Amino acid sequence: MNQVVRYLTKSRFKLAAECPRKLYYTGKKNYLDRSLDDSFLAALAEGGYQVGELACLMHPGGVRVDELNHQVALAKTAELLQQDEVIIFEAAIAVGTLFVRVDVLRKSGTRIEIIEVKAKSYSAKKDGDFKGAKGQLKSDFLPYLQDVAFQRYVAQQALPGHQVHAFLMLVDKEQSSTVDGLNQRFKVVLEERRLRVQVTPGTTPESLGQFLLAKVPVDGQVDMILSDTLRVGPADLRPFPEAVDAFALAYTNDNPLPPVPSSACGGCQFKATSWQSAEQTKSGFHECWSQAFKWSEPDFMGSTVLDLWGFLRKTQLIDQGVLKAQQVTLEDLKFDGEEPGIDGMTRKHRQWYICQPAWPGGGEYYFDGAGYQNARNEWKFPLHCIDFETSAVAIPFASGRHPYEITAFQFSHHVVHNDGRVEHRSQWLCAKPGVDPNIDFVRALRDALCKDDGSIFRWSAHENTVLNKLREELLVSATSPTDKDALISFIESITSRSVSPKEKVHGARTMIDLCDIAEKFYFHPSTKGSNSLKKVLPALMNSSTVLRDTYSKANYGGNGVSLNFVEPIAWWQEHDGKVIDPYALLPPVFDDVSRDETDAADEGLSEELKEGGAAMAAYARLQFEDLSDARRASIENALLRYCELDTLAMVMAIQAWDHMATAAASKP
């Protein structure tokens, strides 16, 4: 029987380049792995499948090596490479225990091009040659460059006598589509939890219009990587070839390389939230820190420096042996220890309260009632809480649109009246395949908000950013809607925008950022300093009596209260003495995909698509999959409920803070 070779593939090489210890955990069922490498939802949301297919279409005559078996794929590739001129998709190349699959390999005589295709946006003006001011490779492109460097390194050794050149093929943000309905040419089919792209018959390179992918030569950058060092251990930097040999040997023999603890441990895919019990999958992070620092289970109980929200010098502290948050000093944070002033907490206050949970007034959490009340005095009833769901599809909907332009497909809108009544006033969702929703989105939002002049609330900068992008889109739109000016004025009235590097203008009814209020006036240690609504809501629910009293009864829903929950629901429910996260009370968005997968899509998307990944994945499925009417309705229904909970969560925050401010004011 043939022994299976444990190859160092390009994805395993990339893991080792991040941290050599990861090689030991990858692919092992008994270790937790939150990585998105095989999350089809994330790839779907990012448009990775479609971009790959688009790249193939741009190389007519290419032959695909479909075979998953390594040896069969190697044999087929070797046979194809006998030809003088050939284009191969997924070419398999190996040398020793190093193995790569090349997205597009182009051979012409002795010249070989290795083309790595990525659903990552690129702008020649902004990203240039991927180098920073000091000539170093930019960190956001480094993993892609390392990937193609490894491929060139393997191919050069496997194919002596050839000149191997490296390219990245990226989504060119500077281009715009010259044809309508381009993205609808790339449908996806879900088969046994795997996605396949189906290209509309008759699609030719000519029918795709302007080429939306940039083929960027990166031999110079690859030379830099190949002549540099890679880390094999905490104090073990080796030249590229030696490091690759060490990685390959460790992986082949399944030997663990030493952990390299750094700030990256905080986001490590092998990090579980707690020390595992016997029946759970193991946490690589806990194993690493136990080995590196001789930690045992109790050491992991409190906060670590990894929990310092927004702190940029975590690796330096780790290198100095400062590991637990309680060991951090004011000097480490470069903080004077002053109490919060009239403008509320700064980031430093929040970081310090994680290290030393002793804030003015003491108690379970810190709340600046007077500061909150001052801000609240500016608010005008009725209060409008809004939340958007957006996507950024790689391949545009319509002619004139750029790749990864914002697509605003949904909003929810709650109203809080002066007498305390709460109403889910309006919502909007458009996920019809091939329909660009942006202009109708702005119209629907204007109609929802223009009935009075009450204050409008968002949570975080997202809504402001989206509306400013839609304003720009309207300004340059080739096919202006007749109400273009009215829509632009509406956007300007509720947003803030920069008009010069130093000057911002604010609309008369500019949205108020509740996240900003949370950051200044509310700190709960369980949020670890984060202001994400997904962290703040559970903290508030666990500590607010008014939320418990209001939402522990099944009385949210029905006419005049909710547009989606016909049957009343109790949002405050307990399990083992802890309040259940309200989002966990909702049925999953997809019943054919696990909740873990949906959550994973939320966590690890690229910069273009941060936050709300599950909603983006849902939108992508509604756009690109041929779904039955029933499944389509079920996904849309789930999207509406999730978005409703997003704006209800904002209402809950206001209710909890109002109650806390009243309680604070009545204290002697």
Kindly list the residues in this chain that would bind ligand SF4 in the complex (CB under 6 A): 19, 21-22, 259-261, 264-265, 268, 270-271, 284-285, 288
- How far is 156 from 112, CA to CA, in rounded Å? 9
Count CB-CB contacts under 10 A for residue 427: 21
Residues 6+ apart with CB under 8 A from 600: 34, 36, 39, 41, 42
Measure the CA angle with vertex 517, ends 515 and 523; round to 5°: 90
Q: Which is nearer to ligand SF4, 49 or 270 (CB)?
A: 270
In the chain, how many H helices and how many E strands? Answer: 23, 21
Least distance in angstroms from the C-beta of 285 to ligand SF4: 4
Least distance in angstroms from the C-beta of 259 to ligand SF4: 4
Least distance in angstroms from the C-beta of 603 to ligand SF4: 15
Helix locations, 507-624, DSSP H: 514-521, 533-543, 545-551, 595-603, 613-624
- How far is 410 from 645, CA to CA, in rounded Å? 13
Q: Which is nearer to ligand SF4, 270 or 522 (CB)?
A: 270
The tally of CA atoms less than 13 A away on the side-chain side of residue 273 is: 0
Q: Which is nearer to ligand SF4, 318 or 439 (CB)?
A: 318
Q: Which is nearer to ligand SF4, 268 or 649 (CB)?
A: 268
Angstrom CA distances, 186 to 52, 90, 171, 198, stand at 10, 19, 16, 6
Least distance in angstroms from the C-beta of 273 to ligand SF4: 13
Instruction: Report the sign of the C-alpha dihedral through residues 596, 19, 69, 67, in that order.
Output: positive
- How far is 512 from 463, CA to CA, in rounded Å? 11
Q: Which is nearer to ligand SF4, 17 or 466 (CB)?
A: 17
Q: Which is nearer to ligand SF4, 315 or 374 (CB)?
A: 315
Least distance in angstroms from the C-beta of 241 to ligand SF4: 22
DSSP code of 564? S
Q: Which is nearer to ligand SF4, 284 or 454 (CB)?
A: 284
Least distance in angstroms from the C-beta of 260 to ligand SF4: 5
Least distance in angstroms from the C-beta of 271 to ligand SF4: 6
Residues 6+ apart with CB under 8 A from 555: 568, 570
The amino acid that residue 472 corresponds to is: E
What does the DSSP assignment read for 85-134? EEEEEEEEEEETTEEEEEEEEEEETTEEEEEEEEEEEE-HHHHTTSB-TT
- How far is 148 from 153, CA to CA, in rounded Å? 8
Backbone angles phi, psi at 411, to 5 degrees: -145, 160
- How far is 491 from 446, CA to CA, in rounded Å? 8
Q: Which is nearer to ligand SF4, 316 or 418 (CB)?
A: 316
What does the DSSP assignment read for 15-39? HHHH-TTHHHHTT-TTB-----TT-
Helix (H) or strand (E) holding 187: strand 186-191
Least distance in angstroms from the C-beta of 609 to ligand SF4: 23
Least distance in angstroms from the C-beta of 258 to ligand SF4: 8
Least distance in angstroms from the C-beta of 323 to ligand SF4: 12
Under 8 Å between Cβ of 528 and 303: yes
Q: Which is nearer to ligand SF4, 164 or 288 (CB)?
A: 288
Least distance in angstroms from the C-beta of 232 to ligand SF4: 12
Q: Which is nearer to ligand SF4, 59 or 324 (CB)?
A: 324
Q: Which is nearer to ligand SF4, 260 or 439 (CB)?
A: 260
Least distance in angstroms from the C-beta of 300 to ligand SF4: 12
460: buried, middle or exposed (CB in 10 Å: 19+, 13-18, 0-12)? middle
Least distance in angstroms from the C-beta of 289 to ligand SF4: 7
Angstrom CA distances, 299 to 286, 327, 487, 624, stand at 10, 12, 56, 48
Q: Which is nearer to ligand SF4, 25 or 167 (CB)?
A: 25
Least distance in angstroms from the C-beta of 270 to ligand SF4: 5
Backbone angles phi, psi at 290, to 5 degrees: -65, -45
Q: Which is nearer to ligand SF4, 263 or 573 (CB)?
A: 263
- 382 prior amide bond cis, ω within 30: yes
Least distance in angstroms from the C-beta of 228 to ligand SF4: 20
Helix (H) or strand (E) holding 422: strand 422-429
Count CB-CB contacts under 10 A for residue 125: 7
Q: At what angle do helices 629-666 and 369-376 cross, to 10 degrees?
A: 120
Q: Which is nearer to ligand SF4, 18 or 90 (CB)?
A: 18
Q: Which is nearer to ligand SF4, 22 or 101 (CB)?
A: 22
